């Protein structure tokens, strides 16, 4: 009977790991992890289960941390330092245009699905309320907006 293979080998217990990325969003951590592992760099997510289970304490634990072996740090940072493409060709679908900030045109944007002030404020008495607020935020200039059209910058309005 063949031995089962471990798809993501873990570092040795005494091996030094370094944090190269952190985020409050699990999906962002998984995408970055996949990017690094597709480049052949083994990774470890730290505090992902805590953030997934008790999402409103993400800031308290420092978010989800992505770590690599110390000897892989330079290669991982090089992979993460590559610029974001403005357009991607998807087989069988066509071209996907990366959303950009309507104010400064930066591609360094993130989607915010939860109203954090309400969620964190309601967590204090012990009843976190994940009130929806779907909008985009530019991490470069701080601009916020909502996307009223699926694929065109013309459908964006101030949030």
Do 130 and 119 contact (CB within 8 A), yes or no? yes
* CA neighbor of 18 nearest in space, from 97, 74, 80: 74
DSSP type of residue 113: E
Instruction: List CB contacts of 24: < 8 A, sequence separation 6 or more.
Output: 51, 58, 59, 63, 64
d(CA 133, CA 130): 9
In DSSP terms, 95 is beta-bridged to 89
Q: Which tokens sit at 83? A: 């610029």
Question: Where in the chain are the domains?
Answer: 17-80, 97-158
Say what the pTM is.
0.56
Chain position carrying tokens 């012990």: 126
Please give the chain's pLDDT, 159 residues, in tens.
Answer: 455 455 555 556 678 999 999 988 888 899 999 999 999 999 999 998 888 888 777 778 888 999 999 999 999 999 999 987 888 888 888 888 888 899 999 988 887 765 556 555 656 666 665 556 677 889 899 998 887 554 344 445 555
């Amino acid at each position: 009977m063949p031995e089962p293979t471990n798809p993501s080998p873990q570092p040795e217990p005494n091996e030094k790991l370094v944090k190269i990325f952190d985020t409050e969003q699990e999906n962002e951590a998984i995408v970055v992890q996949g990017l690094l592992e597709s480049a052949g760099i083994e990774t470890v997510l730290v505090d992902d289960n805590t953030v997934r289970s008790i999402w409103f304490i993400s800031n308290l634990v420092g978010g989800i941390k992505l770590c690599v072996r110390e000897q892989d740090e330079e290669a991982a940072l090089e992979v993460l330092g590559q610029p974001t493409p403005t357009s991607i060709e998807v087989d069988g679908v066509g071209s996907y245009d990366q959303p950009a900030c309507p104010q400064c045109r930066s591609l360094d944007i993130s989607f915010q699905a939860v109203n954090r002030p309400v969620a964190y404020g309601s967590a204090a008495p012990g009843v976190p309320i994940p009130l929806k607020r779907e909008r985009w935020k530019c991490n470069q200039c701080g601009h916020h907006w909502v996307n009223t059209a699926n694929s065109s910058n013309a459908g964006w309005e101030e949030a």
